[in-house]
Structures are given as C-alpha cells and as structure tokens.
Amino acid sequence: MADPLIIKICGIKTPELLEATIAAGADMVGFVHFVRSPRHVSVEDIATLISQARGRIETCVLLVNPDNSCVAEVAALGPDWIQLHGPETPHRVAAIRAEAGVEIIKALPIGTAEDVAQIAGFLDVADRVLLDAKPPKGADRPGGLGDSFDWALLKALDPSIPFMLSGGLAPETVADAIKTVRPFGVDVSSGVESAPGVKDKRLIEAFIRNARAAV
C-alpha cells in the first residue's frame, strides 16, 4: 500500500479556520510570517495557533529569507516545521536547519528545466522539498499567487526524489495533479480562498475530499 498523501493547508490565520482545517482531516497547517503576504500572521498570533494545534495537526511556519533573529524567534514557538520560501541557498538552508533545530521544508520555484535541475542540491539540507510555480517577474512575493507550472517539466526529475506539490492547486484541479505528478504531498493556499487571504471552510473541505479520493 502506498504511503498516505500528506495534505497541507497553508495561510491559516484564525483559530476558527484552524479548527475547520483539523476537522476536515488535513495533515499539516501552515502559518505565514511575511508582511507582504495577505496571509501574514504575527509571531504572537502564530504562538497561539501553534498551541491550539499541538498534538492535533502538524504545524509549519512559512518564512521568506529570514534573518537569524527571526529564525530563533519562530523556532522558540515549537512548530513542527519551518518552510523557507525565499531565495535561500542550500548553504543557508543548512545553516537555518542547524540553528533552528526544526525540520525544514524548502519551497523551490519551478519554471524551467534549469529549476528542476537545481532540486537535487537541496535534498541533503532540507527535510522536504516543495515544488511551487515560479512567480512572474515583478511579483511582490514568492508564492501564494495561485499559479501552476508546467508539470511536464518534472518528467526530467529522478523518480526516486520525493516532493510535495504546490502552485495553482484547487478543489477542481488537485485530483488531476495527484494522478499526473504523483507527489507524496500537496499544499494549497489561494486555491481554497474566496478572496486573497480569506480562507473558505467549504473549499478546504472539498480540496481535502478530492485529494484523498485521487490516491
């Protein structure tokens, strides 16, 4: 039997939506600490949400090119994961993992064959890699834009490399993505929102239901 699919709902901001996400059967929940994102949550609020989630669902705090003080502050909250969603190099990812003592997800933007070729360089320094759509030039943030990438690019990837898939996933596309790309996990943010940063409980439920049915 295949390992169960990991489903991560990212960009949760309120206790109510956290409860809904847990009830819907997600495996991981993500909290965004990045001021330019419509999903930004303060460290104080993330602390409250992690306390609420502890022992019930895995927690992940998303950071973009954080400095050492930010890493230390977030690590002190005791999340299960830190997700790095900026231009961090393999060397920087390794340093953050060593300093934080927290498992690391490294998000990698995919837009070209060169991007796929760079995935291998992160496998030894991150605990998981998450493949996301490369943002368009001039975008004000590195993810959460609701775009997908050309999954055919992943045919060049060594099939033994496990990865999570993100980028443009939604309740109506996630089943096709799982069957086509065969990730071990999927991550959604804007695809379960009614407006930027505003999660919809019914869309979260539909996404999880459709993803589980596709495995």
Name the pTM for this structure: 0.94
In a domain, 156, yes or no: yes
Q: Does 10 participate in catalysis according to the annotation?
A: yes
Q: Domain residues for 196?
A: 6-214
Q: What is the CATH number of the domain that holds 209?
A: 3.20.20.70
Looking at the chain, the whole-number percentage of residues with pLDDT higher than 70 is 94
In tens, the pLDDT along 75-102 reads 999 999 999 999 999 999 999 999 999 9
Confidence of residue 1 (pLDDT cuts 50, 70, 90): very low
| Domains of the chain: total | 1
Q: How many CB atoms lie within 10 A of CB 15?
A: 13
Residue tagged active-site, from 3, 10, 115, 150: 10
Decide if 43 is inside a domain.
yes
Report d(CA 129, CA 61) in Å as an integer.
15
pLDDT at 173 over 90: yes
Neighbours of 6 (CB within 10 A): 17
| 132 included as an active-site residue | yes
Q: Which of 132, 176, 187, 200 is catalytic?
A: 132
Residue 1 in any domain: the answer is no
In a domain, 49, yes or no: yes
Q: Mean pLDDT over residues 181-202, rounded?
A: 96
